A and B are shown apart, each in its own frame.
Chain A
Amino acid sequence: MNYSVDGLTPKSIERPETINELSDVLSTVHSHGLSAIPLGGRTRIKVGNIPSSYDVAIDLSGFIGKIEHEPGDMTVVVNAGVTLSTLNKLLAAEGQRMPFEVRNPDKATIGGSVASNAPGHRQSSTGGIRDWVIGMQTVLADGTVTKSGGRVVKNVQGYEMHRLNTGAFGTLGIVSQIAFKLVPIPAEQQTIIAWFDDDKTAASVGMSFVNGVFMPEAITLVSGPAAKRVVTANGESLPPDNIWALLIRLGGGVRSVERQVNEVVGTVGSQGASGFSVLDDSEASKTWSELEVIHKQAEISARLISRPSIALTTVSSIEKHLKINADSDISAVTDLGFGSTTITANPSNDAESLKVAKLINNQLLETSGSFVIEACPLSIKQEMDVFSHVGNSINLMRRIKHEFDPNYTLNPGRFVGKI
């Protein structure tokens, strides 16, 4: 197993399987003044600033002892090391599923997904992970085991530490166990892909669904070379080069999905799509996984979260500014329901890489919203904060870090403002 993070390798590796072992590991690390990085499936370990130090790897992939599914309550309490796929398989037996998706669910652990607030396509309709976490157990930097929230779908009892720790990238404590609300698996799902030869039409058709009478489960606009890849992924004959693809997944009862499909097909047909196709299950999964591959392969990848209309403007201005770099393979995948866009690039050489990364960064700095450079060459990481600025609340964030991890034991230097 590869435990290196941004080129640094740990001096030792711990693989706790129980809460007592995890607590012991942390209290030892802490009392020796060492630093530690918790790792799950390592699918998002590259997201973050370069660690300022890295002594111990805490591998949580074996921290899987507990999955308590209560189908009647539609809740689950699960250990951090369990992967999304494993969990979903179990839930599916009762007709339920996790409300959110992540990229690479066979490897991604629940803990890593929560800690890094991992994105996924269904955010269009179900929002972020934070909306589904109802309770959490975390182990603080000194090994103290704490919990907050509860395991019932609704609870307000004390401060919601579980929200603070969702997306904190393990800088305040190690997320060891999480309680979630679940959702039923819809009776029917359908994916439609439509392609357009101008971005304005694609965007406005997409937005008309977001603000329509039903919210698609997932609604994604793909621009750049990636558009062609997703369209051709299921054997569609080659469309022209400059296309924008709209991917729409619909879910619900049988009759409801039938109506949704009719509306989508009717709209894309009459609003100027140059082609569309209603995909069967295997075609749909090929298409959505092509998007995963695009994200995974990207040498540079930046994720912007903004108001949906602003995300669209940003995408078109990035396209305009970066068109010159034809061989940089720049694409954008925009979640119209959630308001986020991931810009991916694969420049042909290092010099080009630096140029493209800077251009993307500059463009995002001008946009209202926040962003994370999720992947980029190390040389670029060394020069910047991969997270966008958070204004004067950075002071409070530093005080919070100081309260929970004054010695900077956990993930030092990796978070916003190099916290």
Chain B
Amino acid sequence: MSTNNSVNSNLISDLSNAVGEQYVIWQAEDLLVYEYDGSIDKATPQAVVLPETAEEVSEVVKIANKHGAYIVARGAGTSLSGGAVPLRDAVVIALTRLTSLIEVDAKNRIAIVEPGMINLHLSQRVSHLGLFYAPDPASQKTCTIGGNIGENAGGPHCLALGVTTNHVLGLEVVLADGSLNWFGGTERESTGYDLRGAFVGSEGTLGIVTKIAVRLLPKPETIHSMLAAFTTMDAASNTVSAIIAAGMIPSALEMMDRKTIDAVEPFYNPGYPAEAEAVLIVEVDGLYEAVEEQTETILSICNQNGAMEIREADDEDTRTKLWETRKGAIGAYGTIAPTYYLVDGVVPRTKLRQVLQQVDQIAAELNVTVANVFHAGDGNIHPAILFNEQNPDEVKQAILAGSKILEACVAAGGALSGEHGIGIEKQAYMPLVFNENDLEAMSRLRTAFIGESPDNEPIGVPSLGERFNPGKVFPGGAIHGEAYGITSESFRSTGTQDWQ
């Protein structure tokens, strides 16, 4: 871990000249809040800059280049994979002052925003036009759209509507040389390589987004939410499979297990049945007729699978109430343990039952507490490992359990991440899915964006190849849990998934 023991005063003064002294943070105690994100990893930045415009961002990149400093873009810092943790003494560019809604074209359903805009604010700002922005991470009250681009964020309603990348039309990006480039535009597609598609989900390693053109969708005519309680996780998982098999893609299909129910009961008092081992939330929207048709089928599937209680909501207030346990679940884990490590893995929907059982076994074997709340509809599981970070043994067990869970996901034909990204957390597991050739091809893309790292680099000059967000995504960049004494020897992943 790096510490901020040597302040580069030339760098600080160049940055201050560019953006104004009050927008450059470099005193050790002020840097503390920028050491971590929503994950368990941390590192101290050299300085934090808060530019106000794309041009200032470009200026800051050039200054960092001049001083040989790495750069890490930061939105709200809610990343769960260590994406916003500034390794290698990086300068953090916080985009929280770039929050404008630049353009709304209601007729063509397009908005252009700055990256620091909070996700939920966009939907609120266009609501009077009957429009909304679809990707809705559970963190949408705080996370930024720039950060969503970084992680290709998803959310409960991405089942039917797609994740961030499906809603981005164009990006203005500051590249490593400080130049401003447009990828895509305000149209659905554009000629040339799909640079915006390659950029979304690149976790801040290829450049810094300064403007984003997105698609907006018309609000549905009606929304119907259902909540069903089951006596077993198996019954709930079977219900998920049966809904999909019936030829439906609901707008959301979310699941909570008993531990999560225990955590949310004292907060929200939903009064779920005492014998419920799983709660499923299903939502459908669209035309009245379509919603009616789907609701009938879904209710009968729930009943066939032995739902012990079903609640329904078709007005805003009841719906908010029905959803509040799901939305507040992660926060409520605080009642069970001081810290959570939220694992993000994906399995084929048909393997949900099997993998959830494996998660249980792993928890039992390693003696850790795991609670589940997740996007069941797309097989995106989020086992939350609950532990006490003051106890090094518990930390180690938590990280070990996380690695076992991800191995199980991959072995079932799934993926290492559905929406939280690789960051620091999962880079060591990348070889579970990708072989050297796959990773080498990915690094060629980064080289095209950033440039090759020169041989015989003088010590202290960052490798040009990792100008942005160094040490992320690729194996070997950093160690997950290093702050807690985890070493590269602690875990070793083997084998490569072969889906060809």
Q: Which residues of A contact B (CB under 8 A)?
A: 19, 70-75, 77, 95-96, 117, 123, 127-128, 130-131, 135, 137-138, 140, 144-148, 150-161, 163-164, 166-168, 172, 177, 179, 183-185, 187, 207, 211-214, 252-256, 258-260, 305-310, 338-340, 368-372, 387-388, 390-394, 396-397, 399-400, 402-404, 415-417
Query: Which chain B residues lie closer than 8 Å to A148 at the CB level?
Result: 434, 438, 441-442
Known A-B contacts A151-B499, A396-B175, A396-B181; the reply to A158 vs B422 at CB < 8 A is yes
A160 touches B418 (CB 8 A): no
B287 touches A167 (CB 8 A): no
A152 touches B414 (CB 8 A): yes
| Chain B, Cβ-Cβ closest to A96 | B247
Q: Which B206-229 residues have a C-beta within 8 angstroms of A?
A: 218, 220-221
A154 touches B198 (CB 8 A): no
Query: Which chain A residues lie closer than 8 Å to B380 at the CB level?
Result: 154
A307 touches B105 (CB 8 A): yes
A157 touches B415 (CB 8 A): yes
Q: Is residue B421 within 8 Å, beta carbon to beta carbon, of the partner chain?
A: yes
B286 touches A400 (CB 8 A): no
Per a CB cutoff under 8 Å, which of A131, A145, A152, A258 touches B289? Answer: A258
A393 touches B182 (CB 8 A): yes
A403 touches B444 (CB 8 A): yes
Query: Which chain A residues lie closer than 8 Å to B420 at the CB level?
Result: 156
Q: Is residue B29 within 8 Å, beta carbon to beta carbon, of the partner chain?
A: no
Between A155, A158, A309, A399, the greatest number of chain B beta carbons within 10 A of the residue's beta carbon is seen for A158
B163 touches A163 (CB 8 A): no
A127 to B220, CA, bound (A): 18
Query: Which chain B residues lie closer than 8 Å to A255 at the CB level?
Result: 289-290, 292-293
| Chain B, Cβ-Cβ closest to A186 | B247
Q: Is residue B488 within 8 Å, beta carbon to beta carbon, of the partner chain?
A: no
Q: Is residue B44 within 8 Å, beta carbon to beta carbon, of the partner chain?
A: no
| Chain B, Cβ-Cβ closest to A119 | B189
| Chain A, Cβ-Cβ closest to B415 | A155
Q: Which B432-461 residues have a C-beta within 8 angstroms of A?
A: 433-434, 437-442, 444-449
Inter-chain pairs besides A156-B152, A158-B430, A160-B198, 13 sampled, C-beta below 8 Å: A72-B350, A75-B348, A145-B437, A147-B434, A154-B419, A155-B418, A159-B442, A167-B193, A252-B290, A340-B188, A370-B190, A397-B193, A400-B448
Query: Which chain A residues lie closer than 8 Å to B447 at the CB level?
Result: 403
Query: Which chain B residues lie closer than 8 Å to A75 at the CB level?
Result: 348
Q: Is residue B307 within 8 Å, beta carbon to beta carbon, of the partner chain?
A: no
| Chain B, Cβ-Cβ closest to A73 | B348
A399 touches B448 (CB 8 A): yes
Q: Is residue B233 within 8 Å, beta carbon to beta carbon, of the partner chain?
A: no
Known A-B contacts A127-B166, A396-B175; the reply to A256 vs B293 at CB < 8 A is yes
Q: Tell me how far the C-beta of B14 lies from the nearest C-beta in chain A, rounded to whole angstroms.
A: 25
A163 touches B289 (CB 8 A): no
Q: Tell me how far the C-beta of B78 lies from the nearest C-beta in chain A, rounded to whole angstroms.
A: 15
B287 touches A156 (CB 8 A): no
Stretch of B107-115, B271-279, B385-393 lying at the A interface: B107-115
Query: Which chain A residues lie closer than 8 Å to B462 at the CB level?
Result: none
B274-311 vs A, CB cutoff 8 Å, 1 = contact: the mask equals 00000000000011111011100000000000000000
A399 to B449, CA, bound (A): 8
B200 touches A160 (CB 8 A): yes
Per a CB cutoff under 8 Å, which of B188, B195, B439, B473 touches A305? Answer: B188
Query: Which chain B residues lie closer than 8 Å to A253 at the CB level?
Result: 289-290, 293-294
Q: Is residue B244 within 8 Å, beta carbon to beta carbon, of the partner chain?
A: yes
Q: Is residue B183 within 8 Å, beta carbon to beta carbon, of the partner chain?
A: yes
B348 touches A70 (CB 8 A): yes
Query: Which chain B residues lie closer than 8 Å to A153 at the CB level?
Result: 346, 349, 378-379
Q: Is residue B136 within 8 Å, beta carbon to beta carbon, of the partner chain?
A: no
Q: Is residue B357 within 8 Å, beta carbon to beta carbon, of the partner chain?
A: no
Query: Which chain B residues lie closer than 8 Å to A144 at the CB level?
Result: 437, 440-441
Q: Sorted from nearest, which 8 A-B pairs have the closest CB atoms? A: A163-B197, A155-B415, A184-B247, A256-B290, A72-B350, A253-B293, A307-B108, A255-B289
A-B contacts, 17 of them at CB < 8 A, read A128-B188, A128-B189, A146-B440, A153-B346, A156-B163, A156-B201, A156-B419, A156-B421, A158-B430, A164-B445, A211-B218, A213-B221, A214-B286, A252-B287, A252-B290, A368-B185, A391-B182
B348 touches A154 (CB 8 A): no
A387 touches B289 (CB 8 A): no
A214 to B248, CA, bound (A): 17
A393 touches B499 (CB 8 A): no
Known A-B contacts A72-B241, A152-B413; the reply to A305 vs B194 at CB < 8 A is no
Q: Which B73-119 residues have a C-beta within 8 angstroms of A?
A: 105, 107-110
| Chain A, Cβ-Cβ closest to B215 | A127
B325-337 vs A, CB cutoff 8 Å, 1 = contact: the mask equals 0000000000000
A408 to B110, CA, bound (A): 37
Q: Which residues of B contact A (CB under 8 A)?
A: 105, 107-110, 151-152, 154, 158, 162-163, 165-166, 175, 179, 181-183, 185-195, 197-198, 200-202, 218, 220-221, 241, 244-245, 247-249, 286-290, 292-294, 346-350, 375, 378-380, 413-422, 426, 430, 433-434, 437-442, 444-449, 473, 499-500
| Chain B, Cβ-Cβ closest to A307 | B108
B418 touches A154 (CB 8 A): yes
| Chain A, Cβ-Cβ closest to B347 | A152
Q: Tell me how far the C-beta of A11 lies from the nearest C-beta in chain B, rounded to whole angstroms.
A: 29
A144 to B440, CA, bound (A): 10
Query: Which chain A residues lie closer than 8 Å to B287 at the CB level?
Result: 213-214, 252, 256, 259-260
Query: Which chain A residues lie closer than 8 Å to B290 at the CB level?
Result: 252-253, 255-256
Known A-B contacts A131-B166, A154-B378, A154-B415; the reply to A394 vs B188 at CB < 8 A is no
A166 touches B197 (CB 8 A): yes
A246 to B248, CA, bound (A): 29
Query: Which chain A residues lie closer than 8 Å to B379 at the CB level?
Result: 73, 152-154
B293 touches A158 (CB 8 A): no
| Chain B, Cβ-Cβ closest to A147 | B438
Query: Which chain A residues lie closer than 8 Å to B165 at the CB level?
Result: 160, 163
Query: Which chain B residues lie closer than 8 Å to A77 at the CB level?
Result: 499
Known A-B contacts A19-B500, A150-B415; the reply to A393 vs B183 at CB < 8 A is yes
Between B189, B292, B416, the greatest number of chain A beta carbons within 10 A of the residue's beta carbon is seen for B189
Between B175, B185, B241, the greatest number of chain A beta carbons within 10 A of the residue's beta carbon is seen for B185
Query: Which chain A residues lie closer than 8 Å to B294 at the CB level?
Result: 253
| Chain B, Cβ-Cβ closest to A252 | B290
Q: Tell me how far the C-beta of A346 lies from the nearest C-beta in chain B, rounded to whole angstroms.
A: 24
| Chain A, Cβ-Cβ closest to B190 | A370
A44 to B130, CA, bound (A): 39
B185 touches A369 (CB 8 A): yes
| Chain B, Cβ-Cβ closest to A72 | B350
Known A-B contacts A159-B446, A396-B175, A403-B444; the reply to A146 vs B187 at CB < 8 A is no
Known A-B contacts A152-B413, A154-B378, A305-B187; the reply to A168 vs B182 at CB < 8 A is no
Query: Which chain B residues lie closer than 8 Å to A259 at the CB level?
Result: 287-289
Query: Which chain B residues lie closer than 8 Å to A256 at the CB level?
Result: 286-287, 289-290, 293
Query: Which chain A residues lie closer than 8 Å to B350 at the CB level?
Result: 70, 72-73
Q: Tell me how far the C-beta of B124 lies from the nearest C-beta in chain A, rounded to whole angstroms.
A: 20
A368 to B294, CA, bound (A): 41
A372 touches B293 (CB 8 A): no
Query: Which chain A residues lie closer than 8 Å to B194 at the CB level?
Result: 130, 163-164, 166-168
Q: Tell me how far the C-beta of A124 lies from the nearest C-beta in chain B, rounded to whole angstroms.
A: 10
| Chain B, Cβ-Cβ closest to A388 | B191
A168 touches B193 (CB 8 A): yes
A309 touches B108 (CB 8 A): yes
B441 touches A161 (CB 8 A): yes
Q: Tell me how far the C-beta of A375 lies from the nearest C-beta in chain B, rounded to whole angstroms.
A: 16
